[in-house]
Chains A and B, each alone.
Chain A
Amino acid sequence: MKRLLKGLAGVAGAVALAVGGTASADKEPIKFALLQDFTAVYTFVTSEYNQGQQDYLRLINETGGVEWHPIETIIRDTANEPQRGLEAYNRARREGAVLVDFFSTPVSRAAVNRVLRDEVVMITALHGRGDASHGETFPFVFPMMATYWSQATLLADYIDRHQGGLANKRIALVHIDSPFGREPLPVLQELAQQKGFQLRSFGYPSPGTEQSATWSDVRRYRPDHVIIWGAGGGQQVSVREAIRNGIRPENILSVVWLSETDARNVGGNHMNGVKRFEAVAFGQEPAVIQDILTHVIEPGLGAGPAANVGSSYYNIGVATMAVAVEAARLAIGEFGAPLTGDKLRRGFEMIEGFDARGLMPPVTITATDHQGGGYGRVSQWNGQTWEPLTHWTNAFQDIVWYEIEKDARGFRDGR
Chain B
Amino acid sequence: MFYRLSGIHHTRYESARALWPVTADRRIILGLLLLALAAPFLLSDLYLTSYMLPWLIWTAAALSLTLLMGIAGQLHFGFAAVMAIGAYTSIHLTRAGVPFELALLGAGLMAALIGCLFGAAALRVKGLYLVMATLAMQYLVEWTIINVPAISGGAQATLSTPDVTFLFVPLQSDGALYYTALLWTVVVTLLIMNIKRSSFGRALVAVRDKDFAASVIGVNPLKYKLLAFFASSFLGGVTGAVLAFCYYQAVTPEQFGFNVSIQLVAMVLVGGLGSVIGAYLGAGFVLLLPIVLTNLLAFVAQFDLIPISFNLLSHIPLMVYGALIIGVILFEPLGLAKIYDNIRKYFLVWPFRHTQS
Contact = CB atoms under 8 A, between A and B. Distances in A.
A407 B255 contact: no
B162 interface: yes
Given A91-B50, A177-B146, A47 B298 contact: no
Given A38-B314, A77-B294, A131 B163 contact: no
Interface in A171-217: 177-179, 182-183, 185-186
Interface string B127-159: 000000000000000010011000011111111
Interface in A34-88: 38-39, 47, 50, 54, 75-77, 79, 82-84, 86-88
A90 B294 CA distance: 15
Nearest to B51: A87
15 contacts: A9-B299, A12-B302, A12-B303, A38-B311, A76-B295, A77-B314, A90-B50, A110-B250, A177-B146, A177-B147, A178-B146, A407-B155, A407-B156, A414-B95, A415-B162
B146 A410 contact: no
Given A90-B46, A91-B46, A177-B146, A113 B160 contact: yes
B240 interface: no
Contacts of A12: 302-303
A87 B160 contact: no
Contacts of B304: 16
A106 B163 contact: no
Contacts, number: 118
Interface string B307-343: 0011100110110000000000000000000000000
Contacts of B295: 76, 91
A94 B153 CA distance: 32
Nearest to B287: A83
B45 A83 contact: no
B254 interface: yes
A25 interface: no
Interface in B204-257: 247-250, 252-255
A106 B252 contact: yes
Contacts of B155: 130, 179, 182-183, 185-186, 403, 407
A88 B54 CA distance: 14
Given A9-B299, A87-B51, A112-B250, A129 B162 contact: no
Given A179-B253, A182-B155, A407-B156, A83 B54 contact: yes
Contacts of B49: 86, 90
Interface string A298-322: 0000011000000000000000000
B40 interface: no
A82 B159 CA distance: 15
Given A16-B302, A179-B253, A90 B158 contact: no
B252 A109 contact: yes
Contact of B309 (A106, A114, A304, A415): A304
Given A9-B299, A77-B294, A38 B315 contact: yes
B175 interface: no
Given A38-B314, A91-B295, A407-B154, A13 B302 contact: yes
B291 interface: yes
Nearest to A80: B254
A87 B50 contact: yes
Given A5-B299, A414-B159, A179 B152 contact: yes
Contacts of A411: 156, 160
B154 A410 contact: yes
B99 interface: no
A128 to B, nearest CB: 9
Interface in B151-210: 152-160, 162-163
A179 B156 contact: yes
Contacts of B50: 83, 86-87, 90-91
Interface residues of B, number: 47
Interface residues of A, number: 48
Contacts of B303: 12, 16
Contacts of B154: 407, 410
Contacts of A88: 291, 294
A178 B254 CA distance: 9
Tell me whether chain A's interface is mostly helix, strand or loop, or mixed.
helix
Interface of A: 5, 9, 12-13, 16, 38-39, 47, 50, 54, 75-77, 79, 82-84, 86-88, 90-91, 94, 105-106, 109-110, 112-114, 129-131, 177-179, 182-183, 185-186, 303-304, 403, 407, 410-411, 414-415
Contacts of B254: 82, 105-106
B252 A90 contact: no
Nearest to A128: B156
Contacts of A50: 310
Contacts of B255: 82, 106, 110
B315 A113 contact: no
B156 A131 contact: yes
Nearest to B158: A109
Contacts of B45: 90
Contacts of B143: 177
Contacts of A179: 146, 152, 155-157, 252-253
Given A91-B46, A131-B156, A179-B146, A38 B250 contact: no
B158 A9 contact: no
Contacts of A84: 290-291, 294
Nearest to B157: A179
B317 A77 contact: yes
A38 B310 contact: yes
A213 to B, nearest CB: 15
A186 B152 CA distance: 16
Contacts of A105: 254
A339 to B, nearest CB: 22
A217 B120 CA distance: 35
